[in-house]
Structure 1
């Protein structure tokens, strides 16, 4: 199979433009393109009531899901913030767009020259493009360079973000130009490694994932995390209330998602499902994005942008690597958008699990490219100390294998590696071929040798300049 055939079969290119779709401007009497309100947050995973975590109080996001479409199998392309967000906003994988790790110091990853952001695509199509709150994929002062007409508000705190975005929505007129409004929250990220700014009520039920030890320390931290989610949910609710009061409510597509999994060992910083599963909820009154439906097709962050462009009838750049699922949502195609999803983790924050993965509906294969030992599950640590790099997860002292395989249908917490079982050798070979083909297609630099981080390159340049001076 050549590169072009692989890309088509695995959903690495956007689908054909919709013709007469229920989302398209041509299908509405006023022929007005839809507005887009995209709300994102940090570290949420699928830790929400509407995703089955009943101990979590998230009534506003749950209500959005009950009115729109909830995507049950939505995955990030990375287990840390910047590369995940970069893929969401470019429709291209981290290896391709260059943003493979954290963008802030001392990691300094950034987009390759000439990379095109979603805001640039919408602005070129005549949209007003506005950023409010956190973005975490480019430097301060670069919003205009990446396509935003305006940055709303001076601070990135949650309360100002709610206030400023709400004012924008309420003041918007029905006959104004269409808008793309990106609203980003720092929540539900840890602050200084903890959630101690939130109250813990031992009487409230707490959800402890199966890959974490159910200890008093873990339970208290998770309880505080749930309170952080409850607060964030209230912020989302206030923004949605403002949209509902506005003149643009009937013509606005709401897109809600997060960057990666929850901030706990065995989740964030790993490409286990717990590290790359994210929410995706979309809503627009009437039509395919309403009715409280659940879509069980596998979707990747890279698929969101081509889908939005199709919904707005905007021509898609030829280099997009995601596949549009707009036809699937509209009922014009019975074929699910993709057969597998892919993700990468480039070491950050002193984690030693450089890895790539491919996941189907049945299996998950992970390949590692840095030395390490097998972690003992369920993980028993103080999650605050772990987040602050003062404690590591215990291991069984066995070398971590080059490859792991999990039956994610029967082992969703990925506790039983079946990659070494003789009966699974062909599955390992087949999925390894798929993963290798994807890595070739996105020109993954790790195929050419150990990764060089921006810090390493800058350090060597400084060293050579000093030595030759």
Structure 2
């Protein structure tokens, strides 16, 4: 009978893997935890910013590896998370527009109100590979992948739990998605105690020095401090269960700060994210790493740490573990496309000193009129001051009526990226290098952003008003075993013998039959799933 462990933390989900203690060299399948923070730049002490105290992030940094050059592929949640879960650039999976599920603003876009993007058939959510190798996978609570993830991806998915019964015979990969620093909390937590002094926060040059600006920036720091408290509770709970000895912890942000002219941008401040990884037994504790890391590398790295090679379709590469890539990245690439009701198409490439930006719609404003962020008091104030002519040149940079077709910035000399050097004669060679790097990148992947969104959906849906249906499974029963296949290319396959249990991932091998019925799920990402029930009664 399977061993079970019941864990009762105050507000957290906790869980256990193997009951015996394993040393660094003995851990074949380590437990892995992701702590994901929304809308958060590297503004904590380990990155040189001590505006607020973050003792628990400080602890992770002291006991782990701090990555100085980690970047996401988009400055906004859904496209960035699409890239993370697939290990591929969102512009190559159809997940590039913000957003596809929930509300596409059909009155302005002419799109279905909600749709799942349809990536190429080779694409999987990477936790499915972990499940095939015996891992328990859990996600709490946000997904936001631009598609409905197949039920084969997660053993458990949902909001915070206060108790759990957990198998002790499996390693786990679990994601905690904290919304504490999300853009919305700039107004929803406005009445919370400020842990940062508004008078002492540093304002970027594109903000006027007003009480509103200082309060909003202080709120961002204060929310990060509240997040740090939550991380401390998680670490304490893990420690009380003796799980830190064989658990790898990742802490990362999905993109830059949620304050105006940070989130949704492809400038460095929109893409640069914190990344700290704590390895068991203090491996490389307290060190800093200067390699380029893209967020599409997170999934391949988790797989590598679990002893699983990187799938060939992935653009990401492992930077730790058994299948660590032999060559580090030379560049970081990012993109911006539709934001809510507003369309744009921007691509960017960075090296460690320069950033090149290509605007495919230079006739459109740099500022995108996203209604959601107008709930931030500072956004309201900026627009009012703009209309009254009260902003200076740097503060008006965001509101220029058109964009240059190309931009080039010296990130060291001009960290706020206000001086476009694209026509600087001394940088002709650098401009050529980065434009060629971008051209080569775009040529190596299929950029769905070049296809109008309505045409893309029509293509995926075969000209109909609904997505395709994944074909039912084909099940061959021989004696007490069965093999399963699906005619739909790229479909994930799951099975179970009781309706109220978790779907097992089919591993391309014959399964032992038991019980009175076999239920089989088939689901290609972006298609509607199918379920087939077969009676096993003799």
The residue number in structure 2 matching 1:345 is 336
**Residues 129 and 374 of structure 1: is their aligned pair in 2 closer, same or farther, counting only changes over 3 Å?**
closer
Residue pair 2:256, 2:263 contacting (<8 A) in 1 also: yes
Structure with bigger strand share is 2
Question: Which secondary structure does the structure 2 equivalent of 1:148 belong to?
Answer: coil
- Unmatched runs of 5 consecutive residues or more in structure 1: 1-25, 376-380, 463-469
Show the 5 A alignment for 1:445-456: 445-447=448-450, 450=452, 452=454
Structure scoring higher RCO (CA < 8 A, sep ≥ 6) equals 1
Structure with bigger helix share is 1
The residue number in structure 2 matching 1:6 is none
Question: Which secondary structure does the structure 2 equivalent of 1:415 belong to?
Answer: coil
Query: Normalized against structure 1, the TM-score is what?
Result: 0.78
Residue pair 1:44, 1:188 contacting (<8 A) in 2 also: yes
The residue number in structure 1 matching 2:402 is 399
Distance 2:26 2:321 in 1: 22
**Residues 452 and 343 of structure 1: is their aligned pair in 2 closer, same or farther, counting only changes over 3 Å?**
farther
Q: 1:285 offset after TM fit, Å?
A: 2.4
2:102 to 98, 102, 105: 105
The residue number in structure 2 matching 1:77 is 73
2:297 to 292, 303, 318: 303
Question: Which secondary structure does the structure 2 equivalent of 1:40 belong to?
Answer: strand
The residue number in structure 1 matching 2:215 is 220
Residue pair 2:409, 2:421 contacting (<8 A) in 1 also: yes
Distance 1:100 1:343 in 2: 11
1:55 to 36, 51, 54: 51
Residue pair 1:98, 1:110 contacting (<8 A) in 2 also: no
Q: 1:265 offset after TM fit, Å?
A: 2.5
**Residues 236 and 193 of structure 1: is their aligned pair in 2 closer, same or farther, counting only changes over 3 Å?**
closer
Q: 1:461 offset after TM fit, Å?
A: 7.0
Distance 1:268 1:191 in 2: 12
**Residues 389 and 355 of structure 1: is their aligned pair in 2 closer, same or farther, counting only changes over 3 Å?**
farther
Q: 1:70 offset after TM fit, Å?
A: 0.8
The residue number in structure 1 matching 2:39 is 43
Distance 1:313 1:440 in 2: 31
Question: Which secondary structure does the structure 2 equivalent of 1:296 belong to?
Answer: strand
The answer to whether the aligner puts 1:255 opposite 2:250 as a matched pair is yes
2:422 to 419, 423, 433: 419
The residue number in structure 1 matching 2:259 is 264
Q: 1:252 offset after TM fit, Å?
A: 0.6
Distance 1:348 1:453 in 2: 18
Residue pair 1:99, 1:109 contacting (<8 A) in 2 also: no
Question: Which secondary structure does the structure 2 equivalent of 1:356 belong to?
Answer: strand
Distance 2:130 2:344 in 1: 37
Query: Normalized against structure 2, the TM-score is what?
Result: 0.69
**Residues 203 and 386 of structure 1: is their aligned pair in 2 closer, same or farther, counting only changes over 3 Å?**
closer
The residue number in structure 2 matching 1:439 is 442
Residue pair 2:80, 2:254 contacting (<8 A) in 1 also: yes
The answer to whether the aligner puts 1:229 opposite 2:224 as a matched pair is yes
The residue number in structure 2 matching 1:178 is 171
Distance 2:311 2:294 in 1: 18
1:124 to 132, 152, 156: 132
1:345-390 residue CA offsets vs partner (Å, 9 max, x unmatched): 1120355652110001121000011223467xxxxx9953638997
- Unmatched runs of 5 consecutive residues or more in structure 2: 1-21, 105-113, 368-373, 387-394, 466-538
Question: Which secondary structure does the structure 2 equivalent of 1:399 belong to?
Answer: coil
Residue pair 1:131, 1:181 contacting (<8 A) in 2 also: yes
Residue pair 1:103, 1:137 contacting (<8 A) in 2 also: no
Question: Which secondary structure does the structure 2 equivalent of 1:232 belong to?
Answer: helix
Q: 1:255 offset after TM fit, Å?
A: 0.9
Distance 2:77 2:289 in 1: 25
Distance 1:455 1:192 in 2: 33
1:40-82 residue CA offsets vs partner (Å, 9 max, x unmatched): 1210121222222211332211211111001111000001101
**Residues 390 and 399 of structure 1: is their aligned pair in 2 closer, same or farther, counting only changes over 3 Å?**
closer
Q: 1:327 offset after TM fit, Å?
A: 6.3
Residue pair 1:70, 1:292 contacting (<8 A) in 2 also: yes
Q: 1:324 offset after TM fit, Å?
A: 1.5
**What's the Cα RMSD here?**
3.3
